[in-house]
Homo-oligomer: A and B are copies of this chain.
Amino acid sequence: MDTALDLFANVGYDAVPTSRIAREAGVSEGLIFRHFGNKKKLLEAIMASTERRLQEAFAGVIEEDEPAEVVRKVILLPFTIDENEYDFWRLQFKLKWDKEYYNPRLMEPLIQKLTVAFGGLQYRDPELEARFLEQILDTISTQILREGREAALPFRDLVLAKYGLQ
């Protein structure tokens, strides 16, 4: 699964054959099909951890109650991603263009938390603000995954400043 994740994320699901996954993982090709049934289910086994990983990432935000702190922690969220998980999130972002694997529902807990926070901060349209900040997060995450964490630091500070934080 680790090898498949690497190859799916950096080469592409359709571009990488099961024979290559098996070879680079150091197992026989047949084993893939014994374990996962078919290639698609291998991808699904990898993607199955998405919900858990998101919840783990959100945990620190969800338990925060101070509105300004909620916003601050959300902005810092993309920078808390473990570098070992970059491949996983890269795959996630790539598959966003596949309707089958794009599930906006997963972000709802964060949206809700942010909506309440922006409400507490007297923003005019809290839910719209929440959805907009989520998009900015998407943007920053994309940059981090493509150009590394350092490249996104100026943006982090700019966004924090725009929300009157830091």
Contacts and interface: CB of A to CB of B under 8 A. Distances in A.
Interface of A: 12-15, 90, 93-94, 97-98, 102, 125, 128-129, 131-132, 135-136, 138-140, 142-143, 146, 154-155, 158-159, 162
Given A90-B97, A93-B97, A132-B159, 16 more contacts: A12-B98, A13-B14, A14-B14, A14-B15, A94-B97, A97-B146, A125-B154, A125-B158, A128-B155, A128-B158, A132-B155, A135-B136, A135-B139, A135-B143, A135-B155, A138-B139
A142 B14 CA distance: 22
17 contacts: A12-B14, A12-B98, A13-B14, A90-B97, A93-B97, A97-B146, A125-B158, A128-B155, A129-B158, A131-B155, A132-B155, A132-B159, A135-B139, A135-B143, A136-B136, A136-B139, A138-B142
- Classify the interface of chain A: helix, strand, loop or mixed: helix
A163 to B, nearest CB: 11
A128 B94 CA distance: 26
Nearest to A124: B161
Contacts of A159: 132
Contacts of A13: 14
